[in-house]
Amino acid sequence: MSLQPEEPGDVPAETVRVARAAFPKGSLAIRLRDELGVLFTDEQFTGLFPARGKPAWSPGRLALVSVLQFAEGLPDRQAALAVRARIDWKYALGLELTDPGFDYSVLCEFRARLVEAEAGQMVFDRVLDAARQAGVLKPPGRARTDSTHVLAAIRSLNRLEFVIETLRAALNAVAAAAPEWLTGHADPAWFDRYATRPEDYWLPSGRGRRTELAEQTGWDGMRLLTDVHAAHAPCWLRELPAVQTLRRAWVQQYAVDAEGEVRWRDPKECPPGALRLVSPYDTEARASVKRDIKWDGFKVHLTETCDPDTVHLITNVLTSDATVPDIKATDTVHDSLAGKDLLPGEHLLDAGYLDGPRIVTAQTRHGVTLTGPIAGNTTAQATGPYGQDAFTVDWDNKTVTCPNGMTTGQWRDALSHRGTPVIRIQFSPKDCRACPSRPQCINSTTRPHREITLRPRAEHEAIRQARAAEGTPEWRERYAARNGIEGTISHAVRVTGLRQCRYHGLAKTRLQHQLTATAINLARMDAWSTNRPRARTRTSHLTALRPAEHKLNGAN
């Protein structure tokens, strides 16, 4: 399909007349057209379509349809029906009342083009630009970020189910692509073992029998891989995605010993979660655990403005696989906001996003102050009269003095077990052996002296300042605004199904989240323009009776 850009025009007069009569108070779609005008034009999507071929339906209108679709939680069929039948949508799209719209499959094709060109970010940013032009987005201010789990559009499988289903998927793919070849190479027993998908309730319950079945599956899969890679086999068979997935899964789940025996790996021998496949149908989904939540899929981070006198808009959406910890998202979020000139002055985060290096980087590179609880020091010598904070550090002279007055200059730069820069300080064994406070200072009877590990100066001081401010009433009052991001996640879950993937793969899931955030922003801008108050935070009857002193102290 080719693109023949159309200049956006006014809404047809008959559409205006009927829409005003049918919606005297307006609707979301009508008010968006009245307040923001034409959000998306065909010229913005010229790179997505070839210059020749059958004319495509207006991509500018398709972008708006996609956003409205997510705003109302509609599937493709109902969204296409809304374009044909709903007057307010025709008004927003600038269509004649007699316009027949398009087939619902056009939306799927359009999303595929957006994914291929990574144009979902452009759709999201266009609404932010419109908000900036309307005067409702004015950085720098305050922002808040949080993440939530996203379930992949797959069935959760245990290890045995996974290897059986992976082999079954590969056999089905080969059967569809080369039925005659597979008929001549398949073991007759495969048709009984892999004709239907595995269900855990009919698999063996004993560990020995389950291991035996897993290794039988490993032998069958290894034979199929050997046959498709043989010299006489068609070369394109080994390139089938399902066969490639089978090969990756077998490397992860099986080992071949010196005698050529296929052995099912012990769970400790399998690769880490960031690499391990969990489904043959979505090879980018990963298994992860966060507190009491276990899921297969992805993770999404939402960042929104939170100044009390402005509309709260989502300014950044970051989608990653489920195993990426929150701490690795902090710098990525700031770099993305800096590229859009939307950096906040203060960023409210929970403990998962904060550490010393992030605090320093945000302040020095972007001028952003990070506010949030810092994870406490959990080492055995963290607190008490001889805790690490009781030692006096002279950064200029590179010396450390203990609470009993002993000073050491044994100061060296090193790397932690995670590869981050640290400073290791050692006291003299002579001083430590004679010290009467040795049992309280050193928690080991065999260690000859006290050792201290510090972060670089900027990080060390940033952490101490953050911990000192954390307990003050002023800090608690500022940080209380972070709780609102949970309401945004709840809104996205209820309206658009944020925690459930509609599609397979990280790229398509990222587009889903970008369209979700765009839809929420348009709904919030509409609520702001119509003076609809924000929903109040729900308070239980018991919480409302909490004494004032307990509220002040933050007791639960």
Tell me if residue 394 falls in helix, strand or coil. strand
Name the residue type at position 62: L
**What's the confidence (pLDDT) of residue 539?**
75
What are 277-291's pLDDT values in tens digits? 999 999 999 999 988
**What's the confidence (pLDDT) of residue 104?**
94
What are 69-115's pLDDT values in tens digits? 999 999 999 999 999 999 999 999 999 999 999 999 999 999 999 99
Average pLDDT over residues 5-24: 88
**What's the confidence (pLDDT) of residue 381?**
61
Name the residue type at position 36: L
Angle at 66 between CA 60 and CA 70, to 5 degrees: 150
Say which residues have a Cβ less than 8 Å from residue 141's Cβ, sequence separation at least 6: 305, 306, 307, 310, 344, 345, 346
User: Which percentage of the chain shows pLDDT scores above 70?
Assistant: 95
Average pLDDT over residues 504-513: 96
What whole-number distance in Å separates Cα of residue 336 and Cα of residue 37? 27
With tokens 């109302």, the residue in question is: 72
Residue 480 and residue 474 in contact, taking contact as beta carbons nearer than 8 Å: no
556 band by pLDDT with thresholds 50, 70 and 90: very low
Task: Please give the torsion angle defined by the CA atoms of residues 340, 344, 347 and 352, in that order, rounded to the nearest 10 degrees.
Answer: 10
With tokens 């090193």, the residue in question is: 414
What are 317-344's pLDDT values in tens digits? 999 999 999 999 999 999 999 999 999 9
Pairing of strands 142-151, 293-305: antiparallel
Nearest to 112 by CA among 552, 534, 508, 527: 508
Nearest to 66 by CA among 8, 119, 139, 16: 119
Nearest to 182 by CA among 217, 221, 224: 224
Name the residue type at position 6: E
**What's the confidence (pLDDT) of residue 159?**
94
Is residue 57's pLDDT more than 50?
yes
Average pLDDT over residues 406-429: 88
Distance (Å) of CA 143 to CA 195, 343, 496, 532: 53, 8, 22, 22
Say which residues have a Cβ less than 8 Å from residue 521's Cβ, sequence separation at least 6: 127, 128, 131, 313, 314
Residue 447 and residue 427 in contact, taking contact as beta carbons nearer than 8 Å: no
Tell me if residue 305 falls in helix, strand or coil. strand
Tell me if residue 14 falls in helix, strand or coil. helix
Residue 163 and residue 203 in contact, taking contact as beta carbons nearer than 8 Å: no
Residue 88 and residue 30 in contact, taking contact as beta carbons nearer than 8 Å: yes
